[in-house]
Amino acid sequence: MSSDVFQPISQHVKYERLQKEVSPLKLYGRITSFNVQKILWFLEELQIPYEHVEVGGRFGGLDTEQFKMLNPMQKVPVLIDNNQAIWESHTILRYLAASYGGLDWYVDNAYTRSLYERWQDWSQVTFQPAFMGVFWNYYRMPPSKRNMEAVNRELDKCQQCIGLIEQALAKSEFLAGTSITLADICVGGVFYRLTTQGLEIELPAHVSTWFEALKTRPGYKKWIMSDFTDLQGREDF
């Protein structure tokens, strides 16, 4: 991809990642996408160099031939590492954990990894769709077009999910044990928007404690807790 197609708007360098003499990672995606935000949060947790390029939504660029070469699905996020493109947010998270996370984020035991990977999959196929049903039917709709029956139906699904999360957190500090994992990145990335879009959502005790702990992490504060009012009442991307 030529450098005149997308220009990086920000570059964050923490340290030389794992002593590799390579170019920084490059992440494509608009920061108002919470799927992109999860990757940005994790990159901050890993403290590795990366460039961030805003593309998609009001920035456009997803329908260009250059971007289709990176991701034929024409979606963000897309991560570039050593000229290799990785797409789908949870695949990117797994890739980063396996490549740069060390034993803190990618344990050398398949069963132990499954303890957090199951939460990743559950979040993507159950919790996230319920949240999106609430978000699109409520926050992304002008008030005159809101279907509150649909909002409440999806909100009930979210509350059921929160109940399951509460059960898990009653047994451990984080979803998959005593330390933060990709489970918390994926599930926790949903909570800020779910609870700050203007609807009354009561969090049970263990979920509330866990959520407050996530909000103290620099990457969570910087990327997940960022302004998303640009999306309010906007029915398109």
Instruction: Give pLDDT, residue 23.
Output: 65
Instruction: Give pLDDT, residue 22.
Output: 52
**Homologous superfamily of domain range 10-103:** Glutaredoxin (3.40.30.10)
- Name the band, by pLDDT with cuts 50, 70 and 90, for residue 192: very high
- Fold identical between 10-103 and 107-225? no
Contacts by 65-74, CB closer than 8 A, 24 or more apart: 66/1, 66/2, 66/5, 67/1, 67/5, 67/28, 69/1, 70/1, 70/28
pLDDT single digits (tens) 20-52: 445 689 999 999 999 999 999 999 999 999 999
Q: Which fold has domain 107-225?
A: Glutathione S-transferase Yfyf (Class Pi); Chain A, domain 2 (1.20.1050)
Q: Angle at Cα 165 formed by Cα 162 and Cα 168, nearest 5°?
A: 155
Q: Other CB atoms closer than 10 Å to residue 198's CB: what's the count?
A: 8
Instruction: Give pLDDT, residue 17.
Output: 40
Question: Tokens 């997940």 correspond to what residue?
Answer: 224
93 pLDDT higher than 70:
yes
| 205, two tokens | 């005790």
**DSSP code for 177:** B
Query: In the chain, what are the domain boundaries?
Result: 10-103, 107-225
Instruction: Give pLDDT, residue 213.
Output: 98
Handedness of CA 63, 37, 193, 149 (dihedral sign): positive
Contacts (Cβ under 8 Å, ≥6 apart) of 182: 42, 90, 93, 94, 97, 105, 116, 117, 119, 120
CA 51: distance to chain centroid?
Answer: 17
pLDDT single digits (tens) 94-120: 999 999 999 999 999 999 999 999 999
Please tell me which residue, 237 or 206, carries the higher pLDDT value.
206
| 161, two tokens | 């999910």
pLDDT single digits (tens) 125-158: 999 999 999 999 999 999 999 999 999 999 999 9
| Alpha-helix residue ranges (DSSP H) falling in 58-174 | 65-70, 89-100, 102-105, 110-122, 128-134, 148-169
233 pLDDT higher than 50:
yes
Instruction: Give pLDDT, residue 230.
Output: 92
